[in-house]
Structure 1
């Protein structure tokens, strides 16, 4: 169109710059040049050039006839709508340009064709065009209608809301007619007779206007979901140039290259699928929910999940071997890093939407009417299918967990729904869950558990964290296999909890939680493992573990061991309970008084007189609820075991604890006495309460009137 200005003459140039000729007889002749270029583009003309003509002309057209001519000519443009459809990415621009044209038309202040006539003419032309040849022409109108629909918000702001009587009924009627036309055309456009370029353009045009409250099957008509779902999966993740797979282009960029951002903008960020990834995922979610509960539908779901799994695996492995594999990537000031992580977050969110659709289908089918419709054998088959589906989803989440860690799970309700539901379903799969988790953490090809790797490789650590999280949930399930726990989980978790080898704090803490659940849910007591773990805990306190974490851990172990002690025949102790209490007592006894947990500074370097003499009848309990020194924390851990002390040695152990309190600093003693009273007065059976209270008042001479002690705060290790 570069030479069009010279060919149009004065009136034509006026039209080119925003208006039409004031001479009606000359206008069609001038528009002929535009129409000629639309119908018979010269060599070198591109789709972008054609759409540029439309954007510069259509908003300023004054006469209905001229708008009809322009729209009709465009619909016959061989570049956009020839016998062989161009790549989807090029024709997608039709959608964006018609939104821009309509936005411009809605805002224009010059006297032009009325808004009513503008909408009426376009809808009439599109309707007639489809009617002329529905099979060949339907797909061509979809991006045009989608562009107009996307302007509805601006349209309603400027017209409907301002003057509902003038525009409300008109636009409501127009929307209904346009939506009906869109549905008719869409059903004819997403058929096997069309090329992938046409199908993809049609699905994208549909996705950008689809609302979750709508019935997706009303749009696609007789086209089965079994055909549409694979096409959507391919559009979202498989096509190397048009799908989310363009993200892999990040791995060929140098974040330090100043031209990288230009490449990202052109080859990644502006790609239609990337721009509308969430809308495409909502559409796919809706189609998954329409599938019947039969074997063919199950195959469609599993095939889709396998493709997503393969995509996530490749994405994870590529990221792991790239410059983006660092924990601080999400905070990196480098713009390439920032765009990369934003792209991954958007991708993760879209996948969660898809998984949610698959799982929601199961729930919608699990209502009472569903159980009345199918027999017990069918229900068993469906449950088996969903266990397999759950395992595949968890496997996919494993590979994108490094993205999840950068976001944070809190508040991400859709992710939590998918994660916890699939975890629960997977637990019921028995050997399937066990084999999956061991392959994810025990297979050297997936994760190298060598400490130097976990300490320096963010994505390797994220994989380990994901499996530890699965195990933590599994250990709280009634389906947990004791043999699997003992032979597989415990040893790995114990090793990962050792901070002398593993320095990644999140991994160490997660491993501790798994170990504690192993002890809590074990049906047997292994004193050797228990004491080994207590030594590990004490070695990490207070440098890594807080006083709360230490207390929770020791109480968990003590409760388990003291409730069912192992009897000794030739040991120095009567049983494992007595040995355990003595072990903690010895650790407390040798802990230096006054050593602050936070600063490692001594509160009071010299201890003068025993503390017991300073306890007056008017004694008030300490206001502190958290241990401030190492000695306080370890003695408190021993005090918390009092409810489980054997009755035969109950008061004698209280006497020994009292000696520990007396040999502490005054500040520590005040806190420990508070903790001691709390243990004696709460959460014990009647026999121990009677012994404890009598010891408190009669043997120690503590005051009969005491102030209420604040409840102890618990912390999860």
Structure 2
């Protein structure tokens, strides 16, 4: 069979005209390409067509032939079927045209100049759109997006290398293609188009939109923001097969390669687009309802995800570190969804901040009232995905911290919504949301994550509401968890301690405080680290010692003396020489605490990279900076030898160190008395413990005292105890 006979009618006509022959006589491969594009066989699919044009489009030598190939592709009956191909298949057009453009840009000897190639592409796209702007607009959007994805490579190879030849040309080309894109976008995002076209358009739009340089108003200023927001939410959170609900496949035991799915691949871009539309919404009741409805849809999505995951193999902490493709893909998707939602909520809350800049006293619309409701819904969304946050770690996660703390600030700024937060947190903490039975807490990672989220809410609440009746309820609930020895998750116990410590107000009950310290010593060292013990003891002791309650009929003069005696005997009776595993770190908080009040503990265990001789530093700085020179006795010539060890190694060392860290808070009336008693329990320790504890005592005296206590402590150290001579390591 001759080559001529293989061609279709149009191919033969073109061959007869000689229009496709780039060199030589007779039909060429390009003729077959045109025929395949215009009259595809039944076995030809979109991937085949894109493969053809990827092979030929960058290599065409004549402008006329490039025009024919592009026009034939645009009119191809397979490439653009409004009711046929789904948008994931049409998305491959974006990838293909990026690859085609990359290939054209990197050909060492272009068969058609770069300028001519770009010019022909632009002109053919314009002609195609103008021929039928309503039906053809959506078809050019993925092509333009694909080409624009190559702009970085284009500028590196051409614009930046030859500014005079290419800069003005590409500036003009970019302006024209941008104008065409925006025109087509407005004709594509309409109700008369099916969801496949709208989804492809939104995906293309998210790729093309430059979030840091442009406004969405430039693209769709005349379109309904509500329409675009609703369609984006639908694509992201309600599209079972192609959106974020692909997570259901994992729960059904089907491992999905999510990284190549278009929505997941460009999830951040889509969320940035949604963020921008939320940000520009006008301030009215219609916009408030729109925000509430869509945040509610996200909440429902998160709730279904959380509840579905609880009955899966992924509901275990070990799943986070499981290297199997199934677990790795699942957690990649979870993290992508969580990051994406944070981007969206950032837009919702940014709108609130921007609105307050132009706040008017006479404004009838109460945005603070509405945003308190929105903030509660955002917290619900975060609650159901807290297990994902814990897998990421929120340190440095600026987007999360922004939405979490701003939402809480909006809520806690109003007495009524603060009371509502109490009810919401108890609903979060109750059945059926969480199961507080110890076995459920030990094995159910998602259940435990929800409890930790509530602890975080309570920590924020207690910052300003320590004396409320609800604070007492928080204390009772947390104490029940801490006292439950069957709970084996130490992070949960530590976070619970963090909440309890914030429950102690200025009007602390001395009996309650001592009971809690008794619990701390019971949990040390098998559960709590030395650092955690010291932080807790110092935090409670600071409150009790700062406001002592005078006793009328008691063996103790006041509550300060009672507490000190209570903890002193615990230290005195601690067995020397019992080793513990060295540990550092604060309590694992359910959220970052802005400031920890246990300053002495933190300083005492703050290991520097290079140790310094503290006495030498004190000689240079303490007398000059803190007290007059003539108050201190003459410094002995022999320096005190400070050891390098700052972390306790025995249980006795840790208990006494906690007591030493209370010295900055000792009342002046009993300051020297308790310095003496501190030295007594130090001297009752073994030689190695004495050496370490003397060092730590001096560290607190030399670094953590105010002016009055510093003067008294220096006299006691140098004159009364003659510590420099008496407590050298060789004399212990």
- Residue 518 of structure 2 corresponds to 535
Find the counterpart in structure 2 of residue 172 from structure 1: 171
Please tell me the root mean square deviation across aligned C-alpha atoms, in Å. Answer: 3.2
How many angstroms apart in 1 are the aligned matches of 2:518 and 2:461?
26
- Show the counterpart of 1:73: 72
Return closer, same or farther for 1:72/1:643 CA change in 2, 3 Å cut-off.
Answer: closer
Answer yes or no: is 1:467 the counterpart of 2:454.
yes
**In the alignment, which residue of structure 2 is the partner of 1:384?**
369
Change over 3 Å in CA distance of 1:689–1:279 after alignment to 2 = closer
1:511 Cα deviation after fit: 0.9
For residues 375 and 525 of structure 1, the distance between their equivalents in structure 2, rounded to whole angstroms, comes to 42
Tell me how far 1:485 sits from its aligned partner: 0.8
- Deviation digits for residues 106-160 of structure 1, max 9, x if unmatched? 3335763332222212211111221222222211111111111112222223333
**Secondary structure at 2:314 match in 1:** coil
C-alpha separation between the residues in 2 aligned to 1:105 and 1:619? Answer: 76
Q: Which residue of 1 aligns with 2:648?
A: 627
CA distance in 1 between counterparts of 2:469 and 2:552 reads: 28
Question: Match of 2:208, SS?
Answer: coil
Partner of 1:432: 420
2:443 aligned with 1:456, yes or no?
A: yes
Pick closer, same or farther for the CA change 1:24–1:173 going to 2, 3 Å: farther
Q: Which residue of 1 aligns with 2:336?
A: 346
Cα separation, partners in 2 of 1:115 and 1:639, compared to 1, 3 Å: closer
Aligned residue for 1:307, secondary structure, equals helix
Q: Tell whether the 8 Å contact from 1:237 to 1:245 is kept in structure 2 after alignment.
A: yes
Give, in whole Å, the separation in 2 of the partners of 1:293 and 1:597: 60
Runs of 5+ consecutive residues of structure 2 not aligned to the other structure: 584-635
How far residue 274 of structure 1 moved from its aligned partner, in angstroms, is 1.1
Rounded to whole Å, the distance in 2 between the matches of 1:157 and 1:293 is 43
Count of residue pairs the alignment pairs up:
663
In structure 2, how many angstroms separate the alpha carbons of the residues matched to 1:523 and 1:655?
28
- Measure, in 2, the Cα distance between the counterparts of 1:564 and 1:326: 46
Matching residue within 570, 575, 580 for 1:597: 580
Residue in structure 2 matched with residue 147 of structure 1 by the alignment:
146
Shift of 1:691: 5.6
User: Residues 647 and 688 of structure 1 are in contact (CA less than 8 Å); yes or no, is this contact kept in structure 2?
Assistant: yes
Q: Distance in 2 between matches of 1:679 and 1:24?
A: 94
Once residues 118 and 677 of structure 2 are traced to their aligned partners in structure 1, the CA distance between those partners, rounded to angstroms, is: 90
Q: How does 1:240-259 map to 2 (within 5 A)?
A: 240-253=240-253
**1:245-296 CA distances to partner (integer Å, 9 max, x unpaired)?**
1122111226xxxxx4xxx23xx43221011111111111111111112211
8 Å CA contact retained: 1:88, 1:198: yes
The Cα shift of 1:566 comes to 4.4
Following the alignment from structure 1 to structure 2, what is the Cα–Cα distance between the partners of residues 283 and 237? 15
Question: For structure 1, which runs of at least 5 residues remain unmatched after alignment?
Answer: 255-259, 601-615, 708-717
State TM-score, norm by structure 1: 0.85
TM-score by length of 2: 0.83
Distance 1:681 1:49 in 2: 79
Q: Distance in 1 between matches of 2:546 and 2:39?
A: 90
Q: Provide the residue aligned with 1:659 in structure 2.
A: 680
Moved more, 545-554 or 591-600: 591-600
Aligned to 1:494: 479
- 1:301 has 2:322 as partner: no
The CA deviation at 1:645 is 4.0
Corresponding residue for residue 219 of structure 1: 219
Q: Which residue of 2 aligns with 1:484?
A: 470
1:375 corresponds to: 361
Supply the distance in 1 between the matched residues of 2:705 and 2:62 (Cα, whole angstroms): 90
Partners of 2:292 and 2:278 in 1: how far apart?
11
Question: What is the CA deviation profile of residues 321-356 of structure 1, one whole-angstrom value per residue up to 9, with x for unaligned ones?
Answer: 111122122321212211211122122111111111
Mapping of residues 266-285 of structure 1, within 5 Å: 268-285=258-275
Counterpart residue number, 1:410? 395
- Which of 275, 290, 309 does residue 319 from structure 1 map onto? 309
- Is the 8 Å Cα contact of residues 20 and 61 (structure 1) preserved in structure 2? no
Shift of 1:83: 5.8
Partners in 2 of 1:677 and 1:109 — Cα distance?
74
Distance of 2:4 and 2:510 partners within structure 1: 93
1:587 Cα deviation from its structure 2 partner: 0.4
The structure-2 alpha-carbon separation of the partners of 1:66 and 1:590, relative to structure 1 and needing over 3 Å to count, comes to same
Aligned equivalent of 2:631: none
Instruction: Map 1:12-411 onto structure 2 (within 5 A).
Output: 21-22=21-22, 26-27=26-27, 34-82=33-81, 84=83, 86-109=85-108, 112-212=111-211, 213-253=213-253, 260=255, 264-265=256-257, 268-367=258-357, 370-371=358-359, 374-375=360-361, 378=364, 381-411=366-396
Question: Helix, strand or coil for the counterpart of 1:328?
Answer: helix
Of residues 669-678 and 331-340 in structure 1, the stretch that sits farther from structure 2 once superposed is 669-678
1:637 correspondence with 2:661: no
- Local SS of the residue matching 2:78: helix
Distance 1:491 1:274, change over 3 A: same
Q: Tell me, what secondary structure is at the counterpart of 1:312?
A: helix
Do the aligned residues in 1 keep the contact of 2:22 with 2:62 (CA within 8 Å)? no
Q: Identify if the C-alpha distance between structure 1 residues 7 and 376 changes in structure 2 by more than 3 Å, giving closer, same or farther.
A: same
Larger displacement relative to structure 2 (104-113 or 229-238): 104-113
Q: Which residue of 2 aligns with 1:604?
A: none
Displacement after TM superposition at 1:654 (Å): 3.8
Q: Secondary structure at the match of 2:356?
A: coil
Q: CA 1:504–1:291 in 2, change beyond 3 Å: closer, same or farther?
A: same
Q: How much does 1:308 deviate?
A: 1.1
